[in-house]
Amino acid sequence: MKMWFLGTGAGRPNKHRNVTAIALQLPEPETGWWLFDCGEATQHQLMYVPLKLSKLEKIFITHLHGDHLYGLPGLLSSRSFDGGVTPLAVYGPIGLKAYIDTVFSLTETALDYEIVIHELEEEKQGIIYEDGRLRVEAGPLVHRVPCFGYRVEESDTTGPLLADKARALGVRSGPLFGKLKAGEAVTLEDGTVITPESVTDGVLRGRIVTVLGDTSPCEMAVLLGKNADLIVHEATFAAGLEEKAHEFGHSTTIEAARTAQLAGAKQVALTHFSGRYSNDELSQLVAEATAVFPHAIAATDLSMVKIDRVHERRAGQDEISS
């Protein structure tokens, strides 16, 4: 998995950064990607990263403030021009459908694909998407308007097949190998049952990525980020400005770090920085966060974070990332 930060600013674009948009490039063999928020000029930012609009599968909007939403109509329209014909699922708060329908009606925009809009009930937490490989959970955060955080959880899979061991047990190469790789037990002609665990090298642990919208510190942010490989958390203000941050439903660097710490996350990427901070000042903001949680980084526009999958090997073998 790769997380691309298309915009890391708060409120409005400035010389240092664009407004919020984050792309999650799905793990191979998938070729698609998902988008979290779509601030103004998101489609322009996409020109600088290796993601095609025609491959966009899902959009998750955290809330209906303009800096997270104003780029959506243009991006949806451009997807048709870029050859997008498959259905596109869009998730977000109540009012999202009215916004899209109104803009498209007034501009007489016609698309070459179907948009399926899923509006989320305010204050409700739960699974909003699941396909056997990936699951998405949404939960309400604390902001001035209804706002959601999203937790993307990948399923565990069996480790690499130990082909020589499988052959030694009588498994012939071919379809039976495929079943074992897929985690299915197979039965040989003599009735012997070969389980995947006996001929595979451990487990590939599923990754967990949490993308939080604008929020003041809250329990839901910790729940959605529990044991995450990566939490994307807003850090609109520097430490010491907690009162101002909470007045507008935001967090400081230290509060973002504390959420990651409480959640037991592996890493937190700070984003949604106020325009008062230049990119040269981001190192100081990170220093504030790492004083609480050592594995904090500052996201910058067009930067990418790779989320590796942990290969948990059998007893006596080391864990490695892949």
- Tell the burial category of 142 from Cβ atoms under 10 Å away from its Cβ (0-12, 13-18, 19+): middle
Distance (Å, rounded) from C-alpha 1 to C-alpha 224? Answer: 18
Residue 68 among known ligand-binding residues: yes
Kind of pairing between the strands at 296-298 and 268-271: parallel
Residue of 37, 67, 229, 301 marked catalytic: 67
Distance (Å, rounded) from C-alpha 82 to C-alpha 51? Answer: 12
Phi then psi dihedrals of residue 16, to 5 deg: -90, -30
Residue 67 among known ligand-binding residues: yes
Residue 118 among known ligand-binding residues: no
Specify whether 164 is catalytic. Answer: no
Residue 311 among known ligand-binding residues: no
Residue 233 among known ligand-binding residues: no
Whether residue 35 contacts residue 51, with contact meaning beta carbons closer than 8 Å, is answered with: no
Whether residue 223 contacts residue 261, with contact meaning beta carbons closer than 8 Å, is answered with: no
Distance (Å, rounded) from C-alpha 103 to C-alpha 98? Answer: 9
Q: Which residues contact 103 (CB under 8 A, 6 or more apart)?
A: 73, 109
Residue 272 among known ligand-binding residues: yes
Q: At what angle do helices 72-81 and 96-107 cross, to 10 degrees?
A: 60
Torsion, Cα 89 271 296 240, to 10 degrees, reads -140
Q: How far is CA 73 from CA 42, 66, 100, 146, in A?
A: 11, 12, 7, 20
DSSP class of residue 216? Answer: -
Residue 63 among known ligand-binding residues: yes
CB neighbours of residue 316 within 10 Å: 5
Binding residues: 63, 65, 67-68, 143, 214, 272
Binding residues for Zn(2+): 63, 65, 67-68, 143, 214, 272
Active-site residue list: 67
